[in-house]
Amino acid sequence: MNRFERHRGRTIAVLWIAILGVALVATEAVLRSIEDLAVSQPGLGSLTPQRYVEFREWQPGMKFRAAPPQIRRDNPGGPVLDVYPMDIDGDGFIMPSRVYTKPDLTIVFLGGSTTETMYVAPETRFPYLVGRLLEQRTGLKINSFNAGRSGNNAMLSSAVMLGKLLPLHPDYIVIMSNGTDLGVLSRFGTYWNDSSDFAVVRPERRGVERGGSLVRDALIPGIYRAYRQAALRVRTWRKPTPPSPLPAVPPASLETQREEWPEWGRDYGSALQQLIETARAWRVRSVIMTEPVEVSDPTAGQGEYRAASRLDGGEFSAAGFADAHEYFNGIAREVAAESKAGLVDLMALGGWSRRELYDGMHFNDAGSQRAAAAIAEALEAMIKADRLAQRAATN
């Protein structure tokens, strides 16, 4: 008895599957050649890929764990954890988040990695800590939410505001966006780019690879995760991760592109203005924050930035700013003033160093605590003034 006779049923089944596969491929080829699949009509739906606005957030319910890089250990600013937890609540906010079911006041912090504060202890991350400090100062029940996500710029944050911040009906939205905006605009020249990380509009992913990913994640997510973990361990064993070099944060000097600063600045200012006006339309008070960075001159960041000489024909000028990051901070101050939004000028505190910014830009625990104290002090004054104005308006 030969192999076919021993496995006759199995062989016939395989042959039928092969014939069916060939028939499907051939039928699809014929239909594509005689019909324009881009043509649609009621009841048929669309076969062309859709586009969508990018909504960059931490996935609701996610539990992310990250070991700190060596540079974070080298500039501790307090105890350094072996692993930093990023637990995300059901609405996509970094926990701790919703302390009260019925708060007296709700504050949401919006921004990129400097707001996210991944490598800071959860209870010391400034978005959460500000809420606790304000409770002590005001006696109010306060929820303070962290909507930061690494890589988000002011334009991408607009979708986050519309999608999940406004439904909270917050009283204040605090925005810190600078370094990522500068990085995107200096690299691509516009917020509307085709980057896999920073695109505002993306096409729907289709194809065999995408379909396989969906089936895999639906049927065997545990097995695939175990495979990825094993592969990661093998790669690490074969090629250990080298110590992190001391990075230039913010990025290397953009002085050679100074003639492009005004164009970047106009786009950045417009993106901030968009956030402020959207919040105002929904009766939410906006607060803009400058983003601190390490400076070689310990007195830098202090004093008056909105000097008249920097206003050129009614438009904010880049002249006189030593670096592009501080120019963007200047734009943030200008937009806040012109839009009558709140301002927390963290950079103007001065004296920022790697004792508080472990890589020159991102907070360690000490830096987060310093920022939280300054933010709480500024917000306390705004809250009291706003409440006095509300009482006066009702009398």
DSSP string covering 344-387, please? E-SGGG----TTTBTTSSSB-HHHHHHHHHHHHHHHHHHHHHHH
What is the reported pLDDT for 360? 92
pLDDT range class, residue 269, cuts 50, 70, 90 = very high
Question: For strand 285-289 and strand 172-176, is the pairing parallel, antiparallel, or unpaired?
Answer: parallel
What is the reported pLDDT for 38? 72
CA–CA separation, 160 and 170 (whole Å): 14
DSSP string covering 195-250, please? -TTT-SEEEPP-SHHHHHHHHHHHH-HHHHHHHHHHHHHHHHHHSPPPPPP---SS
Task: Write the burial class of residue 122 (CB in 10 Å: 0-12 exposed, 13-18 middle, 19+ buried).
Answer: middle
Question: For strand 201-203 and strand 51-53, is the pairing parallel, antiparallel, or unpaired?
Answer: antiparallel
Helix axes 261-281, 179-188, angle to 10 degrees: 130
Phi first, then psi, for residue 332 (nearest 5°) are: -60, -40
pLDDT digits (tens, 9 = 90+) for 201-211: 988 887 777 77
Segment 117-145 shows an average pLDDT of 97
pLDDT digits (tens, 9 = 90+) for 354-384: 999 999 999 999 999 999 999 999 999 999 9
pLDDT range class, residue 286, cuts 50, 70, 90 = very high
CA–CA separation, 137 and 260 (whole Å): 44
- Reported pTM: 0.84
pLDDT at 249 exceeding the cut of 60:
no
